[in-house]
Amino acid sequence: MLSTLRNAWKVPELRKRLLFTLFIVIIYRMGNFISVPGVDTTKLSSLTSNGSLFGFYDLLAGGAFSKFSIFAMGVLPFINSSIIFQLLTVAVPRLEQLSKEGEEGRKKIQEYTRYASIPLGVISGITIYVTINKAGALVNPSDKFSIFMIIFTVTTASTFLMWLGDKITEHGIGNGISLIIFINIISRFPSAAAGIFKMQQVETVNFVEILGLTVVILLLFIGVVITSLSERRIPIQYAGKTNAGRMYKGQSTNIPINVNGSAVIGIIFAISVMQFPMTIGLFWPDSAFNKFIATSVYSPFKESNWQYLVLYFLLTIFFTWFYTEVTMKPEEMAENMNKSSGFIPGIRPGEPTAVFIERVLARVSVLGGAFAGIVAISPIMADTYTSFKGIYFGGTGLLIIVNVAIETIRQLESQLVMRHYHGFLN
């Protein structure tokens, strides 16, 4: 990784791209410390407690929600819009047709995604206002102009952030939106380390416990790297054919299926389902529903109960499998393979090929979902059963930063190969 960055820095064009990316990141981080007026941030600490939906929201926003800066909403409206359009591509024939039209079709869907993120941002802004109002965080709840400014500010800032991400993708290195989320997550590491150091100072934890936590984090990190690089390759053989009087030999290739391809989406869906009842209960704190959800020893939505961990783990596996099945489309893969005179050795073309691919996808997605479930529940187990209370040490964020880092380095390497950089090729 370091050698790739060093080699990229020696290429003038790539150096400009790296500097441009760094410049945009600095602008973004500066905006993360510009507070929205009219909000008492001290009242938001309970909403962003570890493991909660708002805590996960704050993680992806780089702590902007707990500080309620102008980027409090982050790029979540764009992420939600992207997920919605990926699912709609399967259900809406027009979008499905666009997805098959190559690069132009994908650009059109991406344009629709950007447009849809704006009304989703307005809805999210209204939801955020209602949430902070229920938490008593508004300085002047009766001021209508203040309410409008809060919704307008976070929505406009989120749209601006989406534009910054597009500029990184166009003129910088890597996927801009992914890099913004990457920067948000790693920006939380210093505060987490400071929290652990403070615990040691007040003798809440000892050195052996810190060492044990470090070992667990390292094991999780190694596991995430291995699974992120792991692939199940389905071998494909293309028959020889004649074109314009010339004979072309058959070729062998494969379909790579990444083990962690849908893990992050599976966790996002799972945590949304798990925290939705608790979020609804916050609006009626004295209701019997909220008392059961938040205090009952039988509640599967209370984080300190073992039922929560089991249900969260199973939902992560289910949504990872579901998202893989929806997006990969085994029937379409088998059809395209048959049109190109390709086949899987030992498997008949057509329906048997689609069934075989579906079985492989199911096994890989369940395996990846199980590992993602372990990663997802690890921080909650640490918070519930150890002395490290209130320390969010990774989990889902670890999956994201490893995947983004790998993809960014791969893009740098491809850029170097395209420019025939002598030092890299040797």
> Looking at residue 240, what DSSP letter applies?
P
pLDDT at 426: 47
Instruction: Quote the percentage of the chain above a pLDDT of 70.
Output: 88
Look up the CATH number of domain 189-391.
1.10.3370.10
Residues 325-336: what's their mean pLDDT? 81
- Comparing CA positions, the residue from 272, 236, 264 lying closest to residue 344 is 236
pLDDT at 273: 82
Distance from C-alpha of 407 to C-alpha of 187, rounded to nearest angstrom:
19
Task: Please write the tens of the pLDDT for every residue from 99-109.
Answer: 777 778 888 88
pLDDT at 245: 58
Residues 264-270: what's their mean pLDDT? 83
pLDDT at 247: 61
Q: Which of 61-70, 152-161, 200-209, 395-404 has the highest mean pLDDT?
A: 152-161
Task: Please write the tens of the pLDDT for every residue from 371-425.
Answer: 988 888 887 787 777 766 655 555 677 888 888 888 888 888 877 777 654 444 4
234 pLDDT above the threshold of 70: yes
Residue predicted with more confidence, 143 or 157: 157
Q: Report yes or no: 187 and 63 within 8 Å, Cβ to Cβ.
A: yes
Residues 109-124: what's their mean pLDDT? 88
Show Cβ contacts of residue 134 under 8 Å, excluding neighbours closer than 6 positions.
282, 283
Output the average pLDDT for the chain: 80
Task: Please write the tens of the pLDDT for every residue from 351-363.
Answer: 888 888 889 988 9
Distance from C-alpha of 383 to C-alpha of 390, rounded to nearest angstrom:
6
Q: Report yes or no: 74 and 158 within 8 Å, Cβ to Cβ.
A: yes
Q: What residue type is assigned to position 411 of the chain?
A: Q
SS3 track for 365-394: HHHHHHHHHHHHHHHHHHHHHCCCCCCCCC
Residue predicted with more confidence, 90 or 311: 311
What's the CA dihedral at 127, 133, 138, 141 to 10 degrees?
A: 110
- Comparing CA positions, the residue from 86, 52, 96, 114 lying closest to residue 282 is 52
pLDDT at 314: 92
- Comparing CA positions, the residue from 402, 415, 417, 8 lying closest to residue 178 is 402
Distance from C-alpha of 380 to C-alpha of 311, rounded to nearest angstrom:
13
Residues 295-303: what's their mean pLDDT? 79
Token couple for 280: 């609804």
270 pLDDT above the threshold of 80: yes
Residues 137-154: what's their mean pLDDT? 82
Cβ neighbours around 380 below 10 Å, total: 18
pLDDT at 107: 84
Q: What residue type is assigned to position 70 of the chain?
A: I
Instruction: Quote the percentage of the chain above a pLDDT of 90.
Output: 3
List the Cα angle 72/77/82 in 5-degree steps. Answer: 145
pLDDT at 244: 56
Distance from C-alpha of 206 to C-alpha of 192, rounded to nearest angstrom:
16
Q: Helices (H) and strands (E) in the chain — how many of each?
A: 18, 5
159 pLDDT above the threshold of 80: yes
Token couple for 226: 């291995």
- Comparing CA positions, the residue from 167, 198, 193 lying closest to residue 180 is 167
pLDDT at 160: 92
Q: What are the structural domain ranges in the chain?
A: 1-188, 189-391
Length of the chain: 426
Distance from C-alpha of 128 to C-alpha of 57, rounded to nearest angstrom:
11
Beta strands in 125-213 (DSSP E): none
175 pLDDT above the threshold of 60: yes
Distance from C-alpha of 18 to C-alpha of 416, rounded to nearest angstrom:
13
Q: Dihedral sign, CA of 414, 416, 421, 425?
A: negative
* pLDDT band per the 50, 70, 90 thresholds, residue 246: low
pLDDT at 421: 45
pLDDT at 425: 44
Among 60-69, 278-287, 388-397, name the one with the lowest average pLDDT: 388-397
Residue predicted with more confidence, 121 or 202: 121
Q: Give the N- to C-terminal CA distance of the chain in Å, as an integer.
A: 16
Residues 131-147: what's their mean pLDDT? 78
Task: Please say whether the structural domain 1-188 has been given the CATH code 1.10.3370.10.
Answer: yes
Q: Report yes or no: 407 and 176 within 8 Å, Cβ to Cβ.
A: no
Beta strands in 141-245 (DSSP E): 231-238, 241-243
CA distances to 98, 163, 175, 258 from 117, in Å: 19, 12, 17, 28
Torsions phi, psi for 303 (to 5 deg): -65, -30
Among 52-61, 153-162, 210-219, name the one with the lowest average pLDDT: 52-61
pTM as predicted: 0.79
